[in-house]
Amino acid sequence: MLYGMSSTNTSPPNASTPSIILDCDPGHDDAIAIVVAAQHTNLVGITTVAGNAPLTMTTRNALIMTDLLGIDTPVHSGADRPLVAPPRHAGYVHGESGLDGADLPEPTRGANGDNAVEFIIETCRTTEGIWLVPVGPLTNIALALRTASDLKDRIAGISLMGGGSFGNRSAAAEFNIWADPEAAAMVYEYGGPLKMAGLDVTHQFQATPDRIAKVSALPGRLAELLADLLHFFSATYMTRHDDMGGAAVHDPLAVMALTHPELFTIAQRHVVIETAGEHTRGMTLIDERALIERRPPNCDVLTHVEADAAFDVIVAAIAHFSN
Ligand code: RIB
Ligand code: CA
């Protein structure tokens, strides 16, 4: 494909099941990503990072989701703060628990370990070809890449949620990148396959009332709780954005980029992270120039999603765990 051309993935709809480690900071949309990953991937492990809420809460929330799905996927907690930036959270969107808005049960188990970086490295050395799917700040992933120089050659690639041509935590920076720009810079420079679900595509994927109603119509406690979470998430989004009909359900798109590539259009671009700008720290600078001086692409940027079909994937995954 010529550089700069956009393309709709032509992968067959039934692309082989990817093995992934989901690195997350649940987080309402992270919770949905866990459901989709549990249904459509070989979910080798879940690692948690501080982001939407402190690490103790994001880890607790991940464990609650595995309970609700009835899966025993190993959960390993990771970094409780960014590499350099101060710890900052997003209670204004997700609530103080990180997963406000539903009457969630207490977790029935503790984490399998508290060294996510070691889990990522050892798992990817034992089993090659795993995708790392980070949907929170990139601290764990950056630490793993820095600790194990062989990691980049053992993984299939990285499919992340983050960045965009505009921000949400600032005019320039999206939260996951803004929270730990130094980590993000290491990830975008790692040199292997990289997919990016940024705000340009995730804002196309909103939990509108009609879509949440499809979840509410499903039987069982899981669907009821997830519908409550989506209502809460959408309520906070609607009070903060002028132009949205529901919360942008960001994180599952980083999973579906691997499991349902036919639903996306991508553009191959060079993306670099701003770490120093007074007003732009945490920005993903996407080189859109149609100039021969443009830098070779290092990233598949997701630019469009078939939103109705993608949300039906979520509804079907919830239904699968509701029977
Ligand atoms: O900016 C959206 C991202 O920040 C999502 O991953 C959301 O869960 C929060 O982590
Ligand atoms: Ca997240």
What would the pLDDT profile of 199-246 be if each residue is shown by its tens digit? 999 999 999 999 999 999 999 999 999 999 999 999 999 999 998 999
Please state, as a whole number, how many other Cβ atoms lie within 10 Å of the Cβ of residue 289: 12
Point out the catalytic residue in the list 76, 203, 250, 270.
250
| Ligand 1 atom, smallest distance to 251 CA | 6
Mean pLDDT of 177-204: 98
Confirm whether pTM is higher than 0.75: yes
Q: What is the DSSP string of 170-199?
A: SSSB-HHHHH-HHHHHHHHTS-S-EEEE-H
Ligand 1 center to residue 214 CA distance, Å? 23
| Ligand 1 atom, smallest distance to 26 CA | 8
What are the residue ranges spanned by the domains of the chain?
19-321
* Residue identifier of the C-alpha nearest atom 10 of ligand 1: 136
d(CA 171, CA 180): 16
* Residue identifier of the C-alpha nearest atom 2 of ligand 1: 175
CATH number of the domain at 19-321, out of 2.60.120.260, 3.30.530.20, 3.30.565.10, 3.90.245.10? 3.90.245.10
Counting residues of the chain whose pLDDT is more than 70, the rounded percentage is: 95
pLDDT at 302 over 90: yes
Confirm whether 203 is a catalytic residue: no
Contact 29, 247 (CB under 8 A): yes
Q: Phi, psi at residue 44, to the nearest 5°?
A: -70, -30
| Ligand 1 atom, smallest distance to 136 CA | 10
Mean pLDDT of 68-82: 98
Pocket test for ligand 1, best of 30, 170, 204, 283 (most atoms within 8 A of CB): 30
Mean pLDDT of 267-296: 97
CA nearest neighbour of 203 among 133, 250, 159: 250
**Which ligand has the nearest atom to the CA of 93?**
1
Q: Mean pLDDT of all residues in the chain?
A: 95
Ligand 1 site, CB within 6 A: 25, 27, 29-30, 51-52, 135-136, 161, 168, 174-176, 250-251
